[in-house]
Amino acid sequence: MTEAIIHIDSLAFGGAGFGRLDGKACFVPFTAPGDVARIKITHEKTSYVEGEVLTLQEESPQRVASPCPVFGVCGGCTWQHLSYSAQLEAKKQIFTETLRRFGRVDPARIDSPVPAEHPYGYRSRAQFKVRWVGGKLHMGFYRRGSHFVVDIPVGCALCHPMLNEALAEIRHLLICFAESDRIPQVDAAVGEDGAVLIIVHYIGDSPGKARNFFEDAQNELTSVNGLHLQFGRKDTIERVWGIDELSYCFPAGFLPDLPEISLVFSRGGFSQVNYQQNRELVRAVHRMACLTGSERLLDLFCGNGNFSLPLARYAAAVAGVEEYGPSLDDGRRNARDNGTSAIDFILSDAAAGVRFLVSRGDSFPVVVLDPPRTGAKEAVREIVRLNPERIVYVSCDPATLGRDLGLFGKDGYAVCESLPVDMFPQTYHIESVTLLRKA
């Protein structure tokens, strides 16, 4: 079978439309529930097949026009063809099913997603891939399932407008750079105040010449406030000119009686890509933590203090554990600059950090964790040893979240509530905040 007609019933984690062919699960990217499509079979396995659309014989009413000219080719987005309401509905279904399957979470415990006010133009960070193809510069994102760079000369519809301005200026500059084929990637980030910081990855043999070139080009990058070169891993980043940090804020009164808080993160440091939705995450964590001022709070994977700083006002004391040194330095500085002295920042991976705290006899009734996409499997057993009353788990991956919730469940913790937050509109990615308590 090389071609087939399929009715798309739903959307799957990963973004593809889902239907069945001869009893087999079939996944077709860029389709919508209600589509009837003629597809080409691209992969056929024992239990499932994958296909790509040849023609749509019937179009779903959930379909909308995409504003991006390379949507469907570029791998950065999966759902621009869906109405935003359909995206939210799909995320709720996918999130609920994933947690039920991996963590045995009762669907009744899962809330509707918090929608984004701005479904486009929200990304504050992006990694633009760079390739030369047939003598022409391609700067953009990888095509789905490949390392072919799809050029986006008019910018990315998901990115903050200032990032697209900077992208256009950097593109023009790279065309003039003698070793432009030695630049595989450009990282761009924008602060909430509109300041832009660029990191150019250089893999050539003449770092001094590269540094001189970008020093001399400062006046041509009018949208850029700081430029850095990276020669390998993060610890090789060198400032060429301009700023080396960005900032975002939590406005006064955002949480009860909270004064305005401004947080910085340094070049190469982590921050959420959607500042507005990040505030929704913090709002949810504050609500679920139920701090009364007498509890000691542990913040694992604390980064620059994104949760530690806003929550410190409501806790008796806070310990923050982070393994990336520059982010921990940012956290210490943020605490100092915001007049918060009750945070004990510890440089360590999460599991070892908890073991250290246990060894010195510390206890924490409330634990907050925000691990990377791989989850917190190694830290779960150590967290349980603390015997916290509440665990608030912030996740960007439903599958690893479900796995870890299952591990917590084996030690007597049950999910009370799980709130998806749509941090990444136009994609299948789902951020969430989950509260666990002893069963």
Q: Scan for tokens 């949208």, then name that residue.
A: 223
**Active site annotation includes 68:** no
DSSP notation for 273-291: S-HHHHHHHHHHHHHHHT-
**Which among 367, 373, 371, 356 has a CA at the least distance from the CA of 413?**
367
Q: Which of the residues 26, 156, 396, 416 is marked catalytic?
A: 396
CA pair distance 106, 417, nearest whole angstrom: 9
Q: What angle do CA 88, 89, 93 make, to 5 degrees?
A: 115
> If 0-12 CB within 10 Å is exposed, 13-18 middle and 19+ buried, where does residue 238 land?
middle
CA pair distance 331, 328, nearest whole angstrom: 5
**Which among 300, 311, 395, 400 has a CA at the least distance from the CA of 347?**
300
CA pair distance 351, 227, nearest whole angstrom: 35
DSSP notation for 418-439: EEEE--STTSS--EEEEEEEE-
> If 0-12 CB within 10 Å is exposed, 13-18 middle and 19+ buried, where does residue 2 land?
exposed
Are the C-beta atoms of 68 and 44 separated by less than 8 Å? no
CA pair distance 287, 284, nearest whole angstrom: 5
CA pair distance 435, 421, nearest whole angstrom: 14
For 140, list phi and psi in degrees, rounded to 5.
175, -130
SS3 content of the chain, % helix, strand, coil (to 5): 30, 30, 40
Dmax (CA) for the chain in angstroms is 67
Catalytic amino acids?
A: 396
